[in-house]
A and B are shown apart, each in its own frame.
Chain A
Amino acid sequence: MSASLHPFRSHSQPARRIEGVIFWAFRLATYFVLACGLAVFANIFFKGGATVFQARAPFVNFTFLTEAPESLYVFEWQGRKVEMGDREFREFRERNPEAAKVKTESYVYSAGGIFPCIVGTVLLVIGSMAIALLLGVCAAIYLNEYARDGRFIRFVRLAILNLAGVPSIVFGLFGFGMFVIFFGWNVSLLAGWFTLAFMVLPVVITASEESLKAVPRGFREGSLALGATKWQTIRKNVLPYAMPGILTSSILGIARVAGETAPIMFTAAYVVRDKLPWDVERSLDFFFQGVMALPYHIYVVSSKIPQNEYTEKVQYGTAFVFLAIVALIATSSILLRSHLRNRYKW
């Protein structure tokens, strides 16, 4: 009896081949996406790394990380190209009076560092996440612990879903219209905090609800059976087990907050500011001042100044620092989450 008559024979060869080709196409698509992501990372890390790190000890370019941005002056001096920051150049001119006649090219923000931007971003992230976590966790507790399914709850969930889809620039406009103009806070940290907090609210609520759901029902029932009130149950038997999950999942929200530019463009970010945030006369002024922020600074240096070998350093350097911060946050979130999954097994 020949094999071809066997009723349970495997699929014919051409069909196998087609299957193989199509599966390879899917595999290719997957790895192509990963390669694109990797290409962006690699480009920024290699070129930006050159600004942030250096070959000599202490290996990290502390000037770039700890100073404020300055203008860069490029000129020819005694047959060599010299690059100098603003302050250095001024001193140099005082020492060498003939330098005043030398033709210079200047590029704004291309010398010095990005310290005020780092500080501003950290402040924005901390404040907005504090607000978002408070509102988001409380909302999630209500939705998961108290609410019974009904028309109102469905409406709330619909609002959360829709809020998640609102473009970030619309949040920016809203923040500008409400906090900056209507409340009269002007361009300030406070306005930025609330705008960003409202933007990540859906992310935080969804993440918190999932963590609360992961706590087994038995925990609550046991506590209630022993006579604890609802609030005691939540406080002692639900939140402690859900909190690590809430925090780690919300870290992804932090990455999003740190990465957004559009909402802070009109609400919190200054193109340039000489003073650091803690240089305020009254402590209340702290909340009502604008700050420099990394994402906005990247936008400014990549669109407002020309692209050449002198400006490239600060552009890539800023992008590197920013990407490194965001990547660190995202990685820690992903790692912590898998760690947590292994820790609690119910």
Chain B
Amino acid sequence: MPPAESAAAPAVEFAIQKRRVRFLGLTLDECIKLFFGGNAVVSIVVLTLITYFLFREGAGFFGQNRVNLQVYRQAGLEYVDYLRRQADDHTALTRYLADVRLRTVQHHTRTSGKSLEEANAALTEFDVYVERYSAAIDPLRTMVGELSEVASAIKTKFIVNEDKKEERRQLLAEGKMAEAARVAIDRVDFEAELRPIRAGFPAYRTLNRELSSTLTQLAGNIPALPVPELQQRMERFAVLSREYVGTFPEIERSLESWDHNAPISASQAFSSFLFGRQWLTASFWQDWYGIIPLLIGSLLVSLVALALAVPLGVGAAIYVNQIATPLEQKLIKPCIEFISAIPSVVLGFFGIAVLGQLLRNLSQSPALAWVPGFPYSERLNILTAGCLLALIAVPTIFTLAEDALNNVPRAFKEASFALGASRLQTTMRIIVPASLSGIISAVLLGLGRVIGETMVVLLCAGNRIAIPDFTQGFAFIVEPVHTMTGIIAQEMGEVVRGSIHYRALFVVGLVLFLLSLLINFGAQKIVRRYRISVG
């Protein structure tokens, strides 16, 4: 028995002694926790990086676009475009006349039973009128042609000079002073270069006066046409023609006050992108980067898709959740999940190979002639892409809407039945309204899925960069469009890194990114705001 030892023992003795490993003052467990926490932060980091890199590559666009627009003005392209627009408006009026002529011929051959020659003979007077009307613009057209060349030459000269400056900068950066000095750069004096264009103004003024008097006189005595309906069209033409002539002084004034040195503000560069109605690249005249046609294309395709997918997806969700037998439930849910696994590029291929042709054939059947836009000839259009996108959106909408329906407390249903409501009443007046917020957010997420879809629209939307014609009502659904996602996928591979076009595509990507965040945010807000509380 060693009492001395027991006295020397420490005052507190643990049964288990454990040495703690410490790294930088942290225990092992804390380190592990930190490691896992670091991984959790990755999603925030990725989101930040996406934002950063889209901005990094895209931000230069607005500066470059400002230069682009500045050159457009300085080289006189803007000046010429005033005149060109005037000439183009005239062409539109001539087209209107051609349309009236076609209708008249149709009237003669169908209703009056004349032969084609007779119909044409009856229109001799009309043809002379059209001839005179369209000939009136010829001097202006010639003038536009001449001025275009001058302006183009100025622009080319400027661009060549810019390239040379860049070359010299690179040479200087490499330290090759002698070579740099040899690169000849002559400053483009826009004032002097533009003088030939400006000098044409008095000639333009006389020309304009003649044009105006000719057109006014022509609008005053329109040829007589056989039917009141056609006559009405001609009178409408006279009104349009007078309105057109009425714009002349305005054009003259803007030409007179036009200043090639007027600065382009940053907001103009910004709004020409955000509200620009033209996306025109690699053009010999002037490039335009306006997102509106792409945005409208994306929205239209998505709306068509949602119009099809919402009834189907929500209907299927209601069916599976409320009406179907347990066996059906067990089978249908995985099947629809399976549809969501079909890769979008395969669906796009299906659209090109099968659906486009199928829908076009369908549209040509007389039984469906009442559908707006039918029959049509473009195989790839909004409708084709919309149908396929609907198939992509349905599983998303179905799954989320079914979840929402499932989350309605049983008590709601039981209470409704106890009060004597039928199954239909319970479903439509109790269950669906109670889960409406979930269903709406499901639809929103479906929209997000559809608007960001790339391959289907790239392959099946027709890829024509133009704002569809809305004047014919719903017929726009059979027009080809281009979309934001499609344009990035199509043009990204071909652009020069760092060019304005390249940056413009990144800005389109940024818009898409922000749009998707907005949709997501909206969906979450709706769910949280209108969540039903039980208790």
Contacts and interface: CB of A to CB of B under 8 A. Distances in A.
A172 to B, nearest CB: 8
Contacts of B40: 138-139, 142-143, 147, 156
Contact of A23 (B323, B497, B520): B323
Contacts of B54: 170, 173-174, 177
Interface string B330-353: 001011111101111111111011
Given A139-B40, A327-B341, A166 B50 contact: yes
A265 B493 contact: yes
Nearest to B516: A165
B422 A303 contact: no
Nearest to A330: B341
A44 to B, nearest CB: 7
Contacts of B315: 25-26, 29-30
Contacts of B332: 30, 34
A168 B520 CA distance: 15
Given A26-B323, A37-B339, A44-B346, A161 B46 contact: no
A72 B146 CA distance: 50
B348 A302 contact: yes
A92 interface: no
A73 B493 CA distance: 28
B336 A34 contact: yes
Interface in B462-520: 485, 488-489, 492-493, 497, 505-506, 509, 512-513, 516-517, 519-520
Contact of A176 (B336, B346, B424, B492): B492
Interface stretch (A100-108, A213-221, A277-285, A318-326): A318-326
Nearest to B505: A173
B485 A167 contact: yes
Interface residues of A, number: 89
Contacts of A19: 422-424
A291 interface: no
Interface centre among B54, B345, B521 (most CB of A within 10 A): B345
Nearest to A320: B346
B496 to A, nearest CB: 13
B32 A169 contact: no
A93 to B, nearest CB: 32
B82 interface: no
Contacts of A265: 489, 492-493
A289 B84 CA distance: 50
B459 A302 contact: yes
A168 B50 CA distance: 12
Interface string B311-324: 11101101110011
A346 interface: no
A139 B38 CA distance: 8
A10 B71 CA distance: 80
Interface in B40-57: 40-44, 46-47, 49-50, 53-54, 56-57
Interface string B376-417: 000000000000000100100010000000000000000000
Residue from the set A170, A296, A315 with the largest chain B CB neighbour count within 10 Å: A170
A139 B36 contact: yes
Greatest chain B CB density within 10 A among A162, A173, A202 is at A173
B60 interface: no
B225 to A, nearest CB: 47
B453 interface: yes
B489 A162 contact: no
Contacts of B452: 165-170
B455 A261 contact: yes
A173 B50 CA distance: 9
9 closest A-B pairs (Cβ-Cβ)? A167-B452, A259-B343, A29-B315, A138-B39, A142-B36, A177-B53, A26-B319, A330-B341, A165-B520
6 contacts: A139-B39, A142-B36, A143-B40, A161-B524, A170-B512, A202-B43
Interface of B: 28-29, 32-33, 35-37, 39-44, 46-47, 49-50, 53-54, 56-57, 311-313, 315-316, 318-320, 323-324, 332, 334-339, 341-350, 352-354, 391, 394, 398, 422-424, 428, 445, 448, 451-455, 458-459, 485, 488-489, 492-493, 497, 505-506, 509, 512-513, 516-517, 519-521, 524
Interface of A: 11, 15, 18-19, 22-23, 25-27, 29-30, 32-34, 36-37, 40-41, 43-44, 135, 138-139, 141-143, 145-147, 155-156, 158-174, 176-178, 181-182, 198, 201-202, 205, 229-231, 252, 255-256, 258-262, 265-266, 295-296, 298-299, 302-303, 307, 312, 315-316, 319, 322-323, 326-327, 329-331, 334
